[in-house]
Structure 1
Amino acid sequence: MQNKDSFLQQLKLENQKVQQALMNLIECYKVINSTLELDEVLKKIMYFALNIAHNADAGFIQLYEEHSDKLIIKSYVGFNDNIESLKVSIGESITGKVFRDGNVRLIDTKEKIYESMADTGEENLNCINNSCKHQDIKSILSLPISFGTNRIGVMTLHRYDIKHSISEMDLLLLQSFASQAAIAIHNAKLHTEAQNSLREITSLSKKLKKTNGLLAKKMTIHNHLTRLSIQNKGLDAIIVEMNKQMEKKVFYADYINGKCIPAQKSHIVRSLDDMFFLFTNKSEPAFVSVSDTVQTNCYVYPIRSGSSSFLGCLIVEGSLPLSELDHLIIEQGAPILTLEIMKLRSQTEVMYKKTYEKYQQFLKTKKPQQAAISAKDLGINNHHFLQTALIELDGNVDLHSLENEAFLLLTYLEKKLPLENSLLFSHNNKITFFSSSHNNDCEKHFIDVIKNNISWWNQRFTVKARAGISTGVYYPGEAVENHEKAEKALLHLKKQNNKGVLHYKDIGISRLFLHHHSEEITSYLHETFSLLWTEQDENSELLHTMVMYVQNNRSMTLTAKDLHIHTNTLYNRIKKIEKLVELDFNNYEDYLKMELAVYLYKAFVV
């Protein structure tokens, strides 16, 4: 009877424990579903799982990460932070196998635990050992977390005390709890995704609103600047309007005339030539640092006509990035600015073309009175001395770029040459300077200015310049002769592929051969040098000897000295040359023929 009462009492206590456990489980459900923040849900699940399994000392939750195809630690208790590095592949170790097959694993001996972990990667094994130092695992319970038929993770509990084990009831409760935890995790994930989507939509909405605002601003700026251009308000008005709209101040630096709009007193102005040199072949804007007496940072936006001609730069001082609005204004203003500059350039080209045509008409006029009228139409009073310079640019660039460089060189010349009673214009890549004065007093200054500017240009630019000059007394109606002499000087430089400056009077005898074709001159040299030319190289020993002999005016002593040979050796060479070319150098006409051939060889071949 007493045994029966004792059994009933024990059964009553067990029933109370079960009821209490069930009440606690229901309470757990309520708590873990009371929030939708994923991190908070996972922390609560871990806390209540340890409460349900009274004898568990530590635990962690891993969730499956699709993009890495691994189980990632999301919440843990009883481990240090090293556990966060644990990333388990499907089928790896204990938890990987639980996730793969969906079966609970309860392992209650140390040997079986390490046997089940035999395939754990070295990095993961070190991570586990480092995260639970000084703790000896006695048993492990690992349960799958599944939402319906979809496994989403694994919950694992560790026990370090051998005396107590997880009861069958605790296991059943944990399995039930895991199912409910899966629902809570799923709901929290949905909430997180919804929140992220909401934030993304809100962010996109703000960006769209901002973009629409910028587009509206863009259209307003474009229409306003275009209206200024259509109304011919000019370059200054466009730059002023851009400054009104921008947060930072901007100015335009013109490559051709070196001026700034609006006028600047900045340190940058003193370094404009260097800045132009840096951006001549660039299309993309950039921040640069300019050092003069003071270091200045600025944003430089190159202005180009298509992909060829460099026109100038829009410059904003400061090292901080430009705002979106400032970028927008510069990008909208640049093409309109380019159009305005090209309009001005076209007007200048038309003016230069008219000047060129009037100048050509003046050159063609032979009657003195009509020539005087034509000169006055050009703004020139006829005087007794003429100065003409023809400057041509040559380089491996397109015609638009050559014309652009011609405008630039012309601008430099304008600052140095006397423009009173003179013409200075550019046409078809050629600059013409023509002036009329009372006498030749300023001739040296005129020539020095041309030489200095051409020399400066050729040192700095890849497009090379050459100039032909002619000066002389003027007789009304005969200006064309002075012009033609300048053309011949330029032609001589061009034929010799030389740059620099040449005055017509310095051409010498070569003027007689300027209009001869190179084939005609080469043919004459072949005939004169005969076998000396055709059967041996141009720089052969005999040819070189012949050239030195003629240049030293037939002096045997000087020629032998220059060639570092004995006079007897030289004598034998000369005789051999005479035999090869079938000429007698003691005969005046024969030697003159050879002398002329040597001159042509040096002037047009070497």
Structure 2
Amino acid sequence: MNAFDYLLSKLHQYFAGTPFSIWVQGSRDRHLQLSYSSVPKEEADSIHTHKPDEVSFHAGVDRYLYEEQADLCYLRFFFSEEGQAVVVRQKSDSSPISLTSEQWEILWLAFQLFVAEEMIETKSQEWTKLLQGIHSISATLDVESIIRDIIGNALAVIPAADAGLLHLYDADIDRLVPKATVGFHNTVYRNFKLRIGESIAGKVFQDGQPRMYRTHPETSQAMIDLSQDNFDSLNDAKALHSLTGLLCVPISLEQKRIGVLVLHQFHQENVFSNYDLALLQGFADQTSIALQNARLYAESREAYQNMAAISEQLRVKHDDLVKRNKIHESIKQLSLQNKGTETIVKALGRMTAKQIFFADWLEQRYYPADSPILFSWDELSALLAGKRHPILVQLFSAQKNRQQSCYVYPLTNGSVFLGCLIILIKERHLSELERVTIEQGSAVLTLDLVKKQSLSSVLYKRAHDIFQELIVSKGSELFERARGFGLSPHGDYWVIYAYLSRSHDLSLLEANIHRLVTRWKWDFASSQVLTYGFHNHVTILLTPSSSLEVKEVIERLSDAVQEWELEKEVSLSIGAGSVVSDLEQIGKSFEEAKKAAHYLANRGRSGVVRYSDLGINRLILNQSQEDIDAFIRDVFEPLWEGQEKYQELEHTLLTYMRCSQSPQQAARELHIHVNTLYQRLKRIEELLSIDLHQPADLLKVQLACHLRQE
């Protein structure tokens, strides 16, 4: 029995059935909060609606106090800095309050134990979040990424704050400038620049002393010297009239201050404490260390892995202590026994007595296999974009003329969206037991999916190695390896190479690779021999049965490109090699597909292109874009000197080449007389120092015009 249950049992015993309510004010709370009522609200409005007056604790006040007002009795209990509690009870002639000193002491001790348990749980959560924050900061080489994560991690550790800014000192302009923000509009980056000593952040940077403000008046007074420009910029990003508190600590590197970390309170009911200030300072110190050691991350990787392993062990032990219950153990056993996704989802349904489905985003499939399709994948993408918390969705069936509510729980691994649990409900909320069950199941399901994805990555690496060995093999060794794939010596073979660019998040890239491989294995199941992903590309080996199937594959690949462009996560450039009829030519098809894909990627283009359709562009596949741009510039530069004067001539030349040097057709498209065209061409030859009747000059200009239009 926990402290609160023990407390309730004693109050029911002492009050003999008389209605009562409990109000608690913790060390972080601004006001008393209703924690419990012995009867439903509609049957005891006076106890619910009559909030007790708040009495500040100070030296000389007893640990408990009895008061009466009108028809209510107040039993007050004080716990020094931890807060206070008030038991509100209706007066009753049949059961008057007459507690012995021992009973008062028992109740006070029960409240004290309850407050202590709450504090222990809060501290435990803070440590968990702080360890996660340290892990996040230490797990990347990207300094910019570290800076972006600072505010989010600080807000996770200090719940009384709901917005924040991180300023770093810019020596070039001698100002503190925002580098990361949460809760403010991005316009704050444009003009907000603090002088040293200006406002709260400027003073903290100047003297290195942390500062804490708990009310709107004292915060406003501390910011009174903020310049008008900076005030307007900050107020545009977040209305300052709602600012009720602020924490600010310096960020130092050894003895040198490099910035400040500021947390703001706009809407939270809690108050900042000295502990929060110390915690924020510790977080800032960890941040400075992370920034200093970012360049040494590679050398420290082994030490970091050991620390991460210890942190994971602590997390597991902590979870065992806090959540040691039947639900947790049952779900954990499912994971340990490798029961699989469908088994876990069905177990969650049994435990909650609800219909639960899982939409696997990476593999684009529902579990259980016979689940109704409640959402299309496009709908899920739009519904859960950027979401990390469950959302309530109302579904309406026009055919059955009825409405259905469901909770959608997104499952993520860092920045990677893995899928979501869909829970059909009749009420508008889940019970506490159901919520805990779903959250525990979500965690186990996420681990199972990550494990499956990691295993797939290992298999992809093995498939890559085997395929590379195949395409470089010759003679009997080639036939031996081909038999391992089930390939005949003289079949038709075709290689597709898909290159993913514009993806800087490695975890997200790996997830996208897995999605593509899974989809294309299904799409091309009838002819695909091997499909795998490696680093930032996907390779497919096909055995097409006809030219019609080749055309169908190209169309499906084009559809995939269009769908991925809509998501705006990565750019997909796909190359297709030639269809070859000999095992030894598979390597040739692979190289062609790779070159075609890189041709698109090097030009910043997505889409699908066959190597055979590149035409003259094959001659420049190995040329860098810089060389191509330099060639175009060398040809057209005389026309670019004085853009207004020669723009008409440049347009004339491009049109003339596009019309295959037909003067009549070019004149019609330009809406000029053919003699005017000849005059312009003469002027172009003079400016470019060429003779369009000379094959070498003509070829140079034709190639430059072609590259301009690519």
TM-score class, shorter-chain normalisation, is 0.5 to 0.7
Quote the residue 1:192 is aligned against: 73
Quote the residue 1:348 is aligned against: 456
1:290 paired to 2:384: no
Quote the residue 1:274 is aligned against: 379
1:481 paired to 2:565: no
Quote the residue 2:560 is aligned against: 453
1:321 counterpart (411, 418, 429): 429
Deviations 1:68-89 (A, max 9, x none): xxxxxxxxxxxxxxxxxxxxxx
1:522 counterpart (615, 629, 633): 629
Letter of the structure 1 residue corresponding to residue 459 of structure 2: M
Letter of the structure 1 residue corresponding to residue 358 of structure 2: Y
Quote the residue 2:446 is aligned against: 338
Mapped to 1, the partners of 2:75 and 2:658 lie a distance apart of 96
TM-score by length of 1: 0.62
Mapped to 2, the partners of 1:549 and 1:260 lie a distance apart of 57
Quote the residue 2:326 is aligned against: 220
Most deviating of 271-280 and 201-210: 201-210
2:469 counterpart (346, 361, 368): 361
Mapped to 2, the partners of 1:565 and 1:488 lie a distance apart of 42
Answer yes or no: is the 8 Å Cα contact 1:225–1:238 preserved in 2.
yes
Mapped to 2, the partners of 1:271 and 1:476 lie a distance apart of 41
Instruction: Report deviation, 1:234.
Output: 2.6
Answer yes or no: is the 8 Å Cα contact 2:577–2:610 preserved in 1.
yes
Deviations 1:370-406 (A, max 9, x none): 2222222234334332211112233455122122123
Instruction: Report deviation, 1:227.
Output: 3.2
Instruction: Report deviation, 1:438.
Output: 6.3
Does the residue aligned with 1:380 lie in a helix, a strand or coil?
coil
**CA 400–602 in structure 1, closer or farther in 2 if over 3 Å, else same:** same
Letter of the structure 2 residue corresponding to residue 234 of structure 1: G
How many residue pairs match? The answer is: 417
1:254 paired to 2:135: no
Quote the residue 1:550 is aligned against: 657
Instruction: Report deviation, 1:600.
Output: 2.2
Most deviating of 510-519 and 439-448: 439-448
Quote the residue 1:161 is aligned against: none
Mapped to 2, the partners of 1:186 and 1:411 lie a distance apart of 70
Mapped to 2, the partners of 1:600 and 1:253 lie a distance apart of 46
Most deviating of 231-240 and 295-304: 231-240
Instruction: Report deviation, 1:456.
Output: 4.0
Mapped to 2, the partners of 1:491 and 1:513 lie a distance apart of 12
Quote the residue 2:6 is aligned against: none
**How does 1:381-530 map onto structure 2 within 5 Å?**
381-395=488-502, 398-420=505-527, 422-437=529-544, 440=547, 442-459=549-566, 462-530=569-637
Does the residue aligned with 1:422 lie in a helix, a strand or coil?
strand
TM-score by length of 2: 0.53
Give percent identity, aligned residues only. 29
CA RMSD of the aligned region, Å?
Answer: 3.5
**CA 438–187 in structure 1, closer or farther in 2 if over 3 Å, else same:** closer
Letter of the structure 1 residue corresponding to residue 442 of structure 2: A
Answer yes or no: is the 8 Å Cα contact 1:413–1:453 preserved in 2.
no
Deviations 1:189-208 (A, max 9, x none): 79822399445879979999
Answer yes or no: is the 8 Å Cα contact 1:443–1:471 preserved in 2.
no
Letter of the structure 1 residue corresponding to residue 702 of structure 2: E
Gaps of 5+ in 1: 1-36, 38-66, 68-184
Quote the residue 1:230 is aligned against: 336
Answer yes or no: is the 8 Å Cα contact 2:406–2:422 preserved in 1.
yes
**CA 350–215 in structure 1, closer or farther in 2 if over 3 Å, else same:** closer
Answer yes or no: is the 8 Å Cα contact 1:271–1:290 preserved in 2.
no
**CA 538–428 in structure 1, closer or farther in 2 if over 3 Å, else same:** farther
Instruction: Report deviation, 1:301.
Output: 0.7
Quote the residue 1:562 is aligned against: 669
Deviations 1:144-198 (A, max 9, x none): xxxxxxxxxxxxxxxxxxxxxxxxxxxxxxxxxxxxxxxxx97667982239944
Answer yes or no: is the 8 Å Cα contact 1:454–1:500 preserved in 2.
yes
Mapped to 1, the partners of 2:558 and 2:67 lie a distance apart of 86
**CA 336–484 in structure 1, closer or farther in 2 if over 3 Å, else same:** same
Gaps of 5+ in 2: 1-17, 19-30, 32-65, 77-84, 90-106, 122-319
Quote the residue 1:244 is aligned against: 350
Letter of the structure 1 residue corresponding to residue 465 of structure 2: E
Mapped to 2, the partners of 1:483 and 1:432 lie a distance apart of 8
Structure with greater helix share of residues = 1
1:531 paired to 2:638: yes
Mapped to 1, the partners of 2:323 and 2:417 lie a distance apart of 28
Mapped to 1, the partners of 2:646 and 2:572 lie a distance apart of 30
1:579 counterpart (681, 686, 708): 686
Instruction: Name the larger-Rg structure.
Output: 1
Does the residue aligned with 1:472 lie in a helix, a strand or coil?
coil
Mapped to 2, the partners of 1:317 and 1:206 lie a distance apart of 39
Answer yes or no: is the 8 Å Cα contact 1:394–1:402 preserved in 2.
no
Letter of the structure 2 residue corresponding to residue 515 of structure 1: N
Instruction: Report deviation, 1:419.
Output: 4.0
Answer yes or no: is the 8 Å Cα contact 1:384–1:438 preserved in 2.
no
Mapped to 2, the partners of 1:186 and 1:444 lie a distance apart of 87
Instruction: Report deviation, 1:357.
Output: 1.0
Mapped to 2, the partners of 1:539 and 1:256 lie a distance apart of 53
Does the residue aligned with 1:192 lie in a helix, a strand or coil?
strand
**CA 400–537 in structure 1, closer or farther in 2 if over 3 Å, else same:** farther
Answer yes or no: is the 8 Å Cα contact 1:470–1:485 preserved in 2.
yes
Deviations 1:237-264 (A, max 9, x none): 4333333332434332211223333344
Letter of the structure 2 residue corresponding to residue 243 of structure 1: G
Mapped to 1, the partners of 2:331 and 2:67 lie a distance apart of 57
Mapped to 2, the partners of 1:566 and 1:352 lie a distance apart of 63
Deviations 1:408-443 (A, max 9, x none): 233332332134461122222322111235665632
Answer yes or no: is the 8 Å Cα contact 1:257–1:411 preserved in 2.
yes
Quote the residue 1:303 is aligned against: 411
Answer yes or no: is the 8 Å Cα contact 1:380–1:436 preserved in 2.
no
